[in-house]
Amino acid sequence: MKIIRSQDYLTNQWAGGITRQLYIYPENGSLAERSFMLRISSAVIDLTESEFSDFSGFIRYIMPLDGDIRLIMQGRRIDLEKDNPFRFDGREKVYSENTKGATDFNIIYQENLSVDVCVVTEGIWEAAEHQTIVFALEDCCVNDHSLGRHETLVANEGVSLEGKAVVIRF
């Protein structure tokens, strides 16, 4: 089991703000080279409008953590909801409108990978095929370890959670 504290996230500037890589699998994977199976990140969005990068061959989830985010896809406007990750195909042409400084939570994974994503307030899970990742939406307790808001836990064993979090299993 590994706890990744907020101050330990890999942080980069991008055209629209700041992004924090919370997790990447495999560990030596690269976003720029698209040489990863699964990547979890969070971004602070300084622009109020942006166009999403093409991630053909990948599935994406996005969820607002702070502020308001609306996606525009195929002429539809979709208001994203906190605690409800929105799933879409990475090859879709997507634009966003959001409040300045909105913060999002993102998951991108190869479309041939089986990944479960859910927001929960408590639960117990057996060990996953590869790993279970817990991203705390509030202060949590995971396997008797404290996890602060917006910190991440990666487990190869079963997980017991108390508190609200996004749980990703693959």
For residue range 107-152, list pLDDT tens digits in order: 999 999 999 999 999 999 988 888 999 999 999 999 999 999 999 9
For 65, the 3-state DSSP assignment is strand
pLDDT at 18: 95
Task: State the DSSP H helix or E strand holding residue 133, giving kind and residue range, or none if neither.
Answer: strand 132-136
pLDDT under 70 in the chain at which residues?
Answer: none
pLDDT at 16: 84
**pTM attached to this predicted model:** 0.94
- In the sheet where 94-98 sits, what is the strand order? 49-51, 94-98, 69-73, 76-79
pLDDT at 71: 98
Q: Are 82 and 63 in contact (CB under 8 A)?
A: yes
Place of tokens 């990750």: 85
Place of tokens 């202060």: 139
2 half-sphere exposure, CB direction, 13 A CA radius: 10
Q: Are 75 and 69 in contact (CB under 8 A)?
A: no
pLDDT at 129: 82
Q: Are 53 and 43 in contact (CB under 8 A)?
A: no
